[in-house]
């Protein structure tokens, strides 16, 4: 990696997420450690939130280097990615400096966000130019799916294929091949969309926060919407991208709009660059969020919201009805939305053949790069191609559009009903349908990201209920998928799991639990906002982690409140019903673990509470890097009771191998008591939720492929289910007493409430095996009985009942 700035350092971090060692270069420091600039950048990576690294300790795989002393180390590199400032002269000067040190096979790529690959390559030796291209990551590189791959005039096609395979499987990215035009695909369309919003904000006299209220989640786009996105990106960065359009596209019919509004330029001149300077279009005061008033130039309270009637229009499910209603409305917010949509569709239609090989690439680039739920052409097609085309044409003719350029003939063809189909997507340059790329890597994607018009059929159904579906893809591995909201677990799901096990053991060599989309399972029936993953490395002392118990539990409580319909029975006063449900859960996870065929959990996203317990009972786990796993029941005053505590106690016993059990059980006790959730699959391994033999998958669309092969490999090796364990060593009463003493101190110090104290005492009792001598050997059923007993004892308390009821009613935790 050449350049240890924001993008260079974070790309390096994501490379080591994928176990690719990295040399990170920058200028030599003027004093002190010559590698000081790079070391500072690496240190900063550990402090960023959201974290660019799955496990902080992996940052040791980034080696610091500088251009003055270490260019000879480039001889050991297979891939060199440049990510320095977006200036052609600086990049070219660096290329001239490094070229003599590159081996004949090395690929050289620029992470430019929009500069000409052809121009950048002009200074390269002739023999290096076929090995040069653009590789444009989006920020932040760990989380943004899109990477644009941009060939130069003479780039070797085989090199592009190799890089596409590497970026897809090794780094987990969605790769789009873009043409070498200014800002490529995603930034070209996304930036135009922002510029159109700038214009129409003024035209319809809307406030910046008012625009954000209607162009975020209501529109199927990120919550940061338009103006907050500009602040997040950095007003200076966005200005640079806009300037690239202005200088590189002088003949563009929309060129007059490629300029900065006066209020925007004033912010730049004042150094108000957005979030990184704590001031931009928005500014936080001590009490409230302020927003810039474009007319006065002053900040005012951010108070304008989406009009209720316009919000109702945006919630219409039928895209045709929604667009028609927006177009017909006279409300300024609706007129703004129609105008922005119209001009964005117009722009994409006119420029499709210039910037992309086909409509699918443009739609996916915008979805992956900007987080839109639909690409421009998907929206157009889903709303009725001919009808929308007529609307666009009418507005163009009436002079309402930002440009009078007519729609291209292909868009107005009488037989045109869309641009996407199962056969392929339109190549506007040729009029042909372009199928998906046929690289072997894409055969690993059982369910690739589809666009409007493509078939979404997935396998043959064995059986299906309202709760689950068991299916297969014509091979020897069954796949079980939950159908419940957020893949929560209720009695019907548990019964479906047991039926799937029965069917699969007579039909298949293995069974995979995989969901068609994340999360894996919240293990709860709580309705309300999705919880964000939280957690950090396991604290070394009880005092340290309990100081943060309330804060962590508040997040965790949003994830678990009504496990297995417990709340329904509880509110009806039927505790015996609850105990029966808990017993059913324990029976199901036990059956999952001791199945005659290997069971594999394919985890993507959150696996919380009961979802985590299925993970813990699987013969093998395949998890995407972005897997957030944890037992979070403590957040609502409960003990995990689906066998999760039992499995962690068993792991602690095995890890101790006859030595002092205390440090091993303490580790797991802290994780459960804190309701800690991993920030990645790799951290889940550190926390003990995943084992050494479990697999991390970088590309979520390859997860099912890998999980099925894990199941098949176990089956082919003569898999036998684990024998129920009868020799689990317990930590016993002395360790429980130690935990209780520390908990008492924390309660007296005000770090935890009285009820927090009771909950964590119960967790300690379960994890340590109850009132037994240390080292006593017990079986799995002993722990299951303890789990169920402590769960029911807590459930019978008024404070746990109050926590559950409050969380169900408000979606917020109660600390009592």
Return d(Cα 495, Cα 584) in angstroms, integer: 9
Q: Which of 389, 323, 359, 362 is nearest to 189 (CA)?
A: 362
726-769 confidence digits (pLDDT tens): 999 999 999 999 999 999 999 999 999 999 999 999 999 999 99
Return d(Cα 101, Cα 63) in angstroms, integer: 18
pLDDT, position 401: 98
382-415 confidence digits (pLDDT tens): 999 999 999 999 999 999 999 999 999 999 999 9
pLDDT, position 572: 56
Each residue of 485-498: b (16+ CB within 10 Å) or e?
ebbbbbebbbebbe
Q: Specify the 3-state DSSP secondary structure of 231.
A: helix
Return d(Cα 800, Cα 806) in angstroms, integer: 10
65-90 confidence digits (pLDDT tens): 999 999 999 999 999 999 999 999 99
Cα-based distances in Å from 576 to 580, 641, 792: 6, 15, 9
Cα-based distances in Å from 51 to 205, 223, 263, 673, 792: 39, 19, 33, 24, 38
Biggest CA–CA distance in the chain, Å, is 87
Tokens of 165: 């395979």
pLDDT, position 336: 98
pLDDT, position 20: 97
Return d(Cα 397, Cα 412) in angstroms, integer: 14
Q: What number does CATH give the domain 6-177?
A: 3.40.50.720
pLDDT, position 550: 37
pLDDT, position 556: 46
pLDDT, position 565: 56
- For every residue of 690-758, DSSP letters joined together read S-TTSEEES-GGGHHHHHHHHHHHHHHTT--PPPPP--EEP-HHHHHHHHHHHHHHHHHTTSS-HHHHH
Alpha helices in 371-490 (DSSP H): 376-382, 385-397, 409-412
411-464 confidence digits (pLDDT tens): 999 999 999 999 999 999 999 999 999 999 999 999 899 999 998 889 999 999
CA 198 to chain centre: 29
Alpha helices in 204-297 (DSSP H): 208-214, 227-233, 235-248, 262-269
User: CB atoms < 10 A from the CB of 305, how many?
Assistant: 14
577-602 confidence digits (pLDDT tens): 888 889 999 999 999 999 999 999 99
- Is 189 in contact with 362 (CB distance < 8 Å)? yes
Tokens of 655: 């890890």
pLDDT at 257 over 50: yes
Q: Which of 68, 114, 70 is nearest to 91 (CA)?
A: 114
Average pLDDT, the chain: 92
CA 653 to chain centre: 34
Instruction: Please give the CATH topology (third level) of the domain spanning 460-802.
Output: 2-enoyl-CoA Hydratase; Chain A, domain 1 (3.90.226)
Structure confidence at residue 804 as a pLDDT band (50, 70, 90): confident
DSSP state of 270: T
Cα-based distances in Å from 686 to 55, 65, 470, 683: 9, 29, 32, 5
**CATH architecture of the region 186-434:** Orthogonal Bundle (1.10)
> What residue spans define the domains of the chain?
6-177, 186-434, 460-802
User: CB atoms < 10 A from the CB of 181, how many?
Assistant: 18
Return d(Cα 224, Cα 61) in angstroms, integer: 33
User: CB atoms < 10 A from the CB of 480, how many?
Assistant: 25
Q: Specify the 3-state DSSP secondary structure of 6.
A: helix
Return d(Cα 249, Cα 658) in angstroms, integer: 72
* Residues 247-263, mean pLDDT to the nearest whole number: 96
Return d(Cα 160, Cα 517) in angstroms, integer: 29
pLDDT, position 92: 98
User: CB atoms < 10 A from the CB of 435, how many?
Assistant: 12
pLDDT at 546 over 80: no
485-502 confidence digits (pLDDT tens): 999 999 999 999 999 999
- Is 62 in contact with 91 (CB distance < 8 Å)? no
pLDDT, position 678: 96
Q: Which of 691, 697, 699 is nearest to 618 (CA)?
A: 691
pLDDT, position 537: 30
pLDDT, position 575: 77
Q: Give the whole-number percent of the chain exceeding pLDDT 90.
A: 88
pLDDT, position 573: 60
Q: The pTM is what?
A: 0.92
* Residues 6-14, mean pLDDT to the nearest whole number: 97
Contacts of 60 (CB under 8 A, 6+ apart): none
Return d(Cα 118, Cα 116) in angstroms, integer: 5
Tokens of 52: 């660019």
Torsion of CA 55, 57, 59, 62, to 10 degrees: -130
Is the bond preceding residue 519 a cis peptide, omega within 30 degrees?
A: yes
Q: Which of 401, 407, 405, 380 is nearest to 203 (CA)?
A: 401
Q: Specify the 3-state DSSP secondary structure of 77.
A: coil
Contacts of 90 (CB under 8 A, 6+ apart): 84
DSSP state of 532: P
Return d(Cα 788, Cα 489) in angstroms, integer: 17
Structure confidence at residue 98 as a pLDDT band (50, 70, 90): very high
Is the bond preceding residue 481 a cis peptide, omega within 30 degrees?
A: no
Return d(Cα 707, Cα 607) in angstroms, integer: 16
Q: Which of 434, 14, 353, 355 is nearest to 187 (CA)?
A: 355
Structure confidence at residue 570 as a pLDDT band (50, 70, 90): low
Return d(Cα 146, Cα 344) in angstroms, integer: 20
Return d(Cα 623, Cα 682) in angstroms, integer: 9
The continuous run of DSSP H or E covering 361 comes out as helix 359-370
Q: Specify the 3-state DSSP secondary structure of 426.
A: strand
Return d(Cα 614, Cα 602) in angstroms, integer: 10
Torsion of CA 791, 793, 799, 803, to 10 degrees: 20
């Amino acid at each position: 990696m050449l350049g240890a700035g924001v993008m260079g350092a974070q790309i390096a971090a994501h490379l080591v997420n994928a176990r690719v060692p990295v040399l990170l270069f920058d200028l030599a420091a003027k004093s002190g450690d010559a590698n000081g600039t790079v070391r500072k950048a690496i240190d900063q990576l550990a402090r960023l939130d959201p974290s660019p690294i799955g496990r902080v300790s992996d940052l040791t795989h980034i080696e610091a280097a500088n251009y003055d002393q270490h260019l000879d180390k480039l001889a050991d590199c297979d891939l060199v990615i440049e990510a320095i400032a977006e200036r052609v002269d600086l990049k070219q000067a660096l290329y001239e400096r490094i070229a003599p040190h590159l081996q004949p096979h090395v690929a050289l790529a620029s992470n430019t966000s929009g500069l000409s690959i052809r121009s950048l390559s002009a200074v390269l030796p002739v023999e290096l130019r076929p090995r040069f291209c653009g590789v444009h990551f989006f920020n932040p590189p760990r989380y943004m799916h899109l990477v644009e791959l941009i060939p130069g005039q003479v780039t070797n096609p085989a090199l592009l294929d190799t890089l596409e395979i590497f970026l897809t499987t090794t780094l987990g990215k969605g790769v789009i091949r873009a043409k070498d035009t200014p800002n490529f695909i995603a930034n070209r369309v996304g930036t135009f969309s922002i510029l159109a919003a700038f214009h129409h904000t003024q035209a319809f006299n809307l406030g910046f926060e008012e625009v954000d209220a209607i162009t975020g989640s209501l529109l199927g786009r990120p919550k940061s919407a338009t103006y907050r996105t500009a602040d997040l990106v950095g007003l200076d960065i966005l200005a640079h991208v806009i300037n690239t359009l202005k200088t590189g596209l002088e003949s563009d019919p929309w060129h007059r709009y490629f300029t900065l509004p006066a209020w925007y330029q004033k912010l730049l001149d004042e150094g108000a660059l957005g979030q990184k300077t704590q001031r931009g279009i928005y500014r936080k005061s001590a009490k409230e969020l302020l927003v810039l008033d474009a007319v006065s130039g002053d900040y005012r309270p951010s108070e304008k919201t989406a009009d209720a009637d316009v919000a109702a229009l945006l919630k219409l499910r039928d895209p045709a009805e929604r667009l028609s209603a927006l177009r017909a409305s006279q409300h300024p917010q609706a007129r703004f939305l129609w105008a922005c949509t119209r001009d964005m569709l117009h722009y994409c239609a006119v420029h499709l053949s210039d910037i992309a090989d086909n409509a699918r690439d443009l739609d996916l680039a915008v979805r992956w790069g900007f987080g839109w739920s639909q690409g421009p052409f998907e929206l157009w097609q889903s709303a009725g191609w001919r009808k929308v085309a007529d609307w666009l044409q009418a507005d163009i003719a009436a002079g309402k559009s930002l440009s009078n350029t007519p729609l291209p003939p292909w868009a107005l063809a009488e037989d045109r009903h869309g641009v996407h189909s199962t056969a392929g997507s339109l190549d506007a340059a040729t009029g042909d349908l372009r199928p998906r790329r046929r690289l072997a890597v894409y055969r690993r994607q059982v369910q690739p990201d589809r666009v409007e018009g493509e078939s979404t059929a997935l396998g043959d159904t064995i059986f299906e209920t309202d709760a689950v579906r068991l299916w297969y893809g014509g091979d020897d591995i069954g796949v079980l998928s939950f159908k419940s909201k957020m893949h929560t677990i209720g009695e019907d799901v548990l019964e479906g799991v047991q039926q799937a096990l029965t069917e699969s053991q007579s039909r298949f060599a293995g069974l995979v639990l995989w969901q068609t989309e994340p999360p894996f399972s919240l293990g709860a029936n709580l309705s309300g906002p999705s919880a964000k993953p939280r957690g950090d490395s396991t604290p070394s002392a009880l005092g340290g982690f309990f100081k943060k118990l309330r804060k962590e539990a508040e997040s965790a409580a949003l994830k678990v409140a009504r496990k297995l319909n417990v709340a329904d029975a509880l509110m009806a006063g039927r505790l015996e019903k609850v105990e029966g449900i808990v017993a059913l859960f324990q029976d199901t996870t036990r059956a999952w673990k001791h199945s005659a065929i290997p069971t594999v959990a394919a985890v993507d996203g959150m696996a919380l509470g009961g979802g985590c317990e299925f993970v813990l009972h699987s013969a093998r786990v395949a998890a995407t890097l972005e897997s957030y796993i944890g037992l979070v029941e403590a957040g609502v005053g409960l003990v995990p009771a689906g066998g999760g505590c039992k499995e962690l106690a068993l792991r602690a016993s095995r890890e101790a191998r006859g030595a002092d059990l205390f440090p091993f059980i303490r580790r797991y006790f802290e994780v459960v008591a804190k309701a800690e959730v991993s920030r990645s699959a790799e951290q889940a391994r550190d926390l003990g939720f995943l084992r050494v033999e479990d697999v991390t998958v970088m590309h979520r669309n390859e997860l099912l492929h890998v999980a099925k092969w894990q199941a098949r490999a176990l089956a082919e090796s003569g898999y036998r289910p684990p024998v129920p364990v009868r020799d689990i060593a317990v930590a016993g009463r002395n360790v429980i007493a130690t935990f209780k003493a520390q908990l008492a101190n924390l309660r007296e110090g005000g770090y935890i409430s009285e009820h927090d104290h009771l909950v964590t005492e119960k967790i300690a009792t379960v994890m340590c095996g109850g009132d037994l001598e240390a080292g006593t050997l017990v079986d799995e059923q002993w722990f299951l009985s303890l789990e169920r007993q402590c769960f029911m004892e807590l459930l019978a308390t008024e404070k746990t009942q109050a926590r559950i009821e409050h969380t169900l009613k408000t979606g917020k935790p109660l600390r009592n």
